[in-house]
Chain A
Amino acid sequence: MNQAAPAPKENMGNPVPRIDARLKVTGQAGYSADLPTANMAYGALATSSIAKGSITAVRLEKARKVPGVLDIVSVGDMDGIDKPKFGNTGASSIAPLHDKAIFHDGQIIALVVAETFEAAEEAAALIRADYAEETPSAGFDSRGTEMEPAAGKSPLFKEDVKAGDFDAAYAAAAVKIDEKYSTPTQHHNPIELFSTTAVWQGDQLTVYEPSQNVTGWKAELARQLKIDPANVRIVSPYVGGAFGSKGPMTARTAIVAVAARSVGRPVRCVVSRIQAYGTQTYRAETRHRIRIGANQDGRITAFAHEGWEVTSRPDPYVVGGTSATGRMYDYGSVLTHVSLVHADRNTPGYMRSPPETPYVYALENAMDEMAVALGMDPVEFRRVNEPQKEPIGGKPFSSRSLVKCYDQAAEAFGWSKREAAVGSMRDGDWLVGMGCATAIYPTAAAPCAARVRLTTDGEVRVQCGSHEIGTGVRTVAAQMAAERLGIEMDKVSVEMGDSALPPAPVSGGSISTASVCSAVLKACDAVRAKLFAAAVAEAGPLAGSGNAKLEMSQEKIVADNGKSAKLSDVFKTMQIGAIEEYAEFAPKGSSPEALKKLYAGQSEFHGGDQDKDSVKYAFGAEFVEVRINSHTREIRVPRIVGAFAAGRIMNTRTARSQLMGGMIWGIGQALHEATEIDKRHARYVNRDLQDYLVPVNADVKQLEVILVPEIDHEVNPAGVKGLGELGNVGTAAAVASAVYHATGKRIRDLPIRIDHLIV
């Protein structure tokens, strides 16, 4: 065992290597734009050079003259096609080639199709448009934006949570803070480029595109193209990073399908890195005002969190993280309010830990400020305010191991060695600071179907239309089947990433492991039931063991009376070669239509704060050491420790890797990532991987992930909480806290850069 494969503790599965590892290290894993198709033509996009106004003419003449150009689909060429919708599956209601209206910079104005990639790119670069241009509003502080309350504008954000009388409690509080925080615009920037490959065979359309939601896209694409969903198939076997960016379907998918139908050939359009900034979703910038009031003993009596988020003109995209921040601690009274600010921008979308990344950053930075104001140790301050029940609805937590996480992370980090006084831990030229913060993410699951086949020779095939985006979901689904059916991992294969498979929900919101494993578990149990019934039947090899408890192990059915039967012998008595079971899982408390909606491509999440009996969240604690050069103010993070509890851990290897990746994302949130906007033109400026900074290898040194054992039978049958997003939450606040500890400077606007620290 090495560091990447931690020994499992209680309620944790083995660190089995990824079942697709060999494919990934040999270049054989087929990502969407790798899949071969015959007679392919190449697509390239042209995009708008203004952010607001309308197109008066698109000039295609020069582009058409480029040798090899086959067709150009442009504004007005989407007759007979329905417009995209904003919502469960669609990224935006903006319909770029239907309308002449321009809603944002970088909006698609044409798709060139050519014989070669080079010709398509050359032609697309020659396309110009004439515009009736208006002055755009870029975002916060721009003239012409429209603000509205967010509550009720999105099914994902129903209300501004509150409890008690905040105003009175805050007025009476002995110690209080009132501060503002902000987080910048960010783009997911998965390393795999966005792409669409559309292949028509008669009236059957196959689309190869990296997707976190093949079933949803199938339904939405069929709706836009006005064809039977049965004739549409979305294929996305491997996804080269997603982080939310490949969840919502964008307008491009239907445009490429229309172009492919028009030229009568398969068309592949790989979107350039630059164009992705305007044609995909992103995390919009947010602002926060937080007020906390407490008694001298450190008990919080009043908490208010106001948030502002930017969205596009037409679509009310909202993350609204106050549902989680309002339930984090034992506040006494809570007041929250979220506002949307509509600007001339593309519609934002979910990005890793969508509500919690910005909102918990603000909360936890404020908690650190409050601890300073109280003269308390920040860990102790959180411990004092640990709730028995969440403050909004007075419900218990299904499980909450936050204090254990703090204890274990603090010990591993050496928190006791921290000297509390600001600026007291200097090491030569380096100012040393230590900080901490809480991570929280709601635990949800969604309806999911799976098919499991077991053959007489012990081969297992699992099929589920979920998505391998790097989480290891194929591996944990295989582990679940192997464990339940008593088969070695190397005899289990898993098919995912195809809308022809049993439907699964969107792979977002840390729901995949819980949803997929619960469905696989159910299908496996149905297989077991058939085998067990046959084994103990009169003619079966375990006849007479009807009252015994049966298990499956090493390709045998084992009874607790000491008898066992080979799997192949049970099949022999059944006179069949395979058992195949199809199972549907719906989380407890789902709506009666939840499963029907699954087949229509609509994922109904259930969990978090939705249940009557308890609220469901995963927790963690992160500790960070920063070092700031006293001359250059260069900021380094030499050490980071996170402890997390998230119910059953299916695989300690993949779990650790996801949490590690999340923590490093958190370092990026704290110190690197920001999409800069030219406010005059409402245009993203740093649209590439050179100027949009993400953490690189040299930004990470010592990193430790501690998996804290936790058992939670309430969350779902698999007992899994999910942790893909958890590691990313809180990190930035821990860094900000450490920067304060080192320098005495409280940086409230992310990212924290050298220029913030120059006196």
Chain B
Amino acid sequence: MSETPLASLSRRSFMTGSVSAAAAGPLMATSAKAAAPQPAASAEPRDLSAISLRINKQPYNLALDNRTSLLDALRDHVGLTGTKKGCDHGQCGACTVLVDGKRVLSCLSFAVMNKGHEITTVEGLASADGNLHPMQQAFIDNDAFQCGYCTPGQIMSAIGCINEGHAGSEGDIREYMSGNLCRCAAYPNIVAAIMQAQDETRKA
């Protein structure tokens, strides 16, 4: 376990195993143990790590509990609440973000695993002048949501789906978007939105 590169670890294996390289060293004392600096090899999961994340092209320097998911880091520590928590178990897709252009379930990724990667959330899609990403506009045009809660995850996943080359047909889209649950069941409209936006998204 100790030789495993950090970035390839899932949160589940982290929770059950002990990971030597997990912490860059405790910064803030939240426990008696943490008050005395610990060698990295025995870092407690609850210790804080200093990490730098690049989110929507902006750098963020954070001190996070090693157990903090990327999702909770975004929502509770960075203030980007557009990314949603629907299950915290990787089952609903509401927390989908792009990491280096690929869709990732941010609830199943520790924040500390994302150092050095480019994270994109729904807040990072529209241009600075307020122009929406083609996928965002397509979701509006096709009424691809009702309550809107799963929508950020759907939009990020839709862009990821196109980047992967899995949006060639309506059937492909349905299959490769089935990890994103929409309880309002806007599915046919989501498929229509992705069909509408795919060419522009590839250019975007």
Contact = CB atoms under 8 A, between A and B. Distances in A.
A complexed with B: yes
A745 B106 CA distance: 44
A25 B136 contact: yes
A697 interface: yes
Interface stretch (A27-35, A485-493, A577-585): A27-35
A657 interface: yes
Interface residues of B, number: 68
Question: Which residue of B145, B147, B175, B191 has the most chain A CB atoms within 10 A of its CB atom?
Answer: B147
Contacts of B196: 2
B111 to A, nearest CB: 11
A659 B172 CA distance: 25
A29 B192 CA distance: 23
Contact of A690 (B89, B141, B146, B174): B89
5 closest pairs, A vs B, by CB?
A: A27-B82, A240-B149, A470-B147, A24-B148, A470-B146
Interface string A4-22: 1100000000000110111
B65 A694 contact: no
Interface stretch (A111-119, A163-171, A554-562, A674-682): A111-119
Indicate the size class of the contact surface on chain A. 35 or more
A658 B192 contact: no
A26 B150 contact: no
Contact of B189 (A4, A28, A31, A117): A4
Interface string B141-174: 1111111111110010000000000000000011
A384 B87 CA distance: 48
Interface stretch (A286-294, A331-339, A660-668): A660-668
A664 B187 contact: yes
Contact of A34 (B34, B81, B155, B175): B81
Contacts of A20: 148
Interface in B96-149: 121-123, 125-126, 132, 136-137, 139-149
B86 A36 contact: no
Interface stretch (B2-10, B16-24, B178-186): B178-186
A271 to B, nearest CB: 11
Interface stretch (A51-59, A151-159, A185-193, A532-540): A185-193
Contacts of B182: 191, 697
Contacts of A314: none
B185 A191 contact: no
Contacts of A193: 85-88
A696 interface: yes
Given A118-B68, A657-B189, A2 B94 contact: no
A471 B141 contact: no
A700 B174 contact: yes
A468 B84 CA distance: 17
Contacts of A115: 30
A240 B68 contact: no
A661 B122 contact: no
5 contacts: A3-B192, A24-B145, A118-B65, A240-B147, A695-B185
Interface string A638-661: 000000000000000110111011
Given A116-B65, A193-B87, A660-B188, 10 more contacts: A21-B140, A23-B148, A25-B137, A26-B126, A26-B132, A241-B147, A242-B147, A660-B185, A689-B89, A701-B174
A29 B136 CA distance: 14
B79 A241 contact: no
A122 B65 CA distance: 12
B91 interface: yes
Contact of B84 (A21, A240, A471): A240
A698 interface: yes
Interface in A462-514: 468-472
